[in-house]
Amino acid sequence: MAVRIMTIFILLISVLFPLLICAPLETQENDVEDSDLYRTANELIMDRGYPVENHFVTTQDGFILNMQRIPHGWNKTQSPSPKPVVFLQHGLTMDSTNWILNGRSESLAYILADRGFDVWLGNIRGNRYSQKHIKLDPSDEEFWDWSWQEMAKYDLPAMINRALNVSGQAQLFYVGHSQGTLIGFTGFSSNPQLASKVKMFFALAPVYTVGYVSEIIRTAAYALYPVLHVYQSYHSGKMLTNSLIHMLTEKSVCGGEFSEKICYDVGEELFGFDSANINMSRVPVILSHWGSGTSFKNFIHFGQMVLSKKCAQYDYGFFSNYRTYGQLEAPEYHVEDMKTPTALFSGSNDKLASPTDVRLLKDRITNLKYFKEIQGWNHADFLFGNNAPELLYSKLINMMETDLTLGTELAEFELFDEN
């Protein structure tokens, strides 16, 4: 085990980290020919036969975010009556294509649209669909001076308010994955007005603390955090781009028998990757849409969370913290203050949203309506697992359509699962 971890760690240091700090490089064409590799979110949605709208909203600090909307289901017309709104928020280094990459019966966004929901797909600052600002350019260092803290404070209210204003509804269902849950927990607990607009919060692979991530992630955090912190002090630019992922999936990196095994070990250690529940023919498509862009500061913030085992605002150091927050330590968030009805779905094999972290979170949520740890699932299964429609999506829709708000109703429908 120690040798395996050391091998993976050496790969992270010698291959991944240099790529992270280099400009995108040109690569060969991928051998896999699948048109979904190159499709935008709009093209993916239209290819499946659904309508799509683009809605742009400007945050309080000037970022221009692009959301996609699927107003109705496949081969249907727009109903004159308002529909219940569902807002889907992607995770770290991802974008709205998370929810629409597979077929009509496999992707959550299409399933929801066909069941009569008004579906909105969020895109946070820095990803390929939200790289505009009223004053700054992506080439400016200041453009990338943010972490998930600003997403929760600025992006989330802007997107949710726009979705509700356009749809004419007072509340919506919020579904987040990974970082999408983190900005929900922190945004809703610190902004009661925003929280009141969420009918129910569905947290998939929930992240609030990351103190019990896999050993390789902790090792990498301890080793790379000082280096990244020093680098970020001079260059606050974006860290992960789509070109990097294309490079890593080329045969030159993961194509040989030995290197392929190392790459698989990296995926297994980082994500709990389980090929048995993933359509392997779709993996190149999934990877081609991963690495959608984020900042060094965001990764450093996650590193701080791994080291501290806390969910706190960005730690600038004692003196800068005092100038920024009026105290020496970065203020912690208090998820106990969140009054939003919440359902948690975790995976027993998740290396990022670890079962230990999730169970610690569960005990702190004051309005928990449902909890389920799905056996064998990892971080990616919530989006791309072959059995996700059966084990997860049907449950989400049942809870949305039942519109659960009272504990007596929960008992009646036997939805609370303590396994």
Q: Which residues carry out catalysis?
A: 178, 350, 379
The DSSP output letter for 27 is -
Cα Rg, the chain, nearest whole Å = 21
Contact 308, 333 (CB under 8 A): no
Residues, the chain:
419
Q: Is 168 helix (H, G, I), strand (E, B) or coil?
A: coil
Give the whole-angstrom CA distance, residue 361 versus residue 134.
37
Cross-strand partners of 168: none
Tell me how crowded residue 386 is: count the other CB atoms within 10 A of its CB: 15
- Take residue 314 and report the two structure tokens written for it: 């960005």
Pinpoint the alpha helices (H) of 237-338. 242-248, 251-254, 257-271, 283-288, 296-308, 318-325
**Rounded to 5, what percent of the chain is helix, strand, coil?**
45, 15, 40
Dihedral (C-alpha) 382, 385, 390, 394: value to the nearest 10 degrees? 30
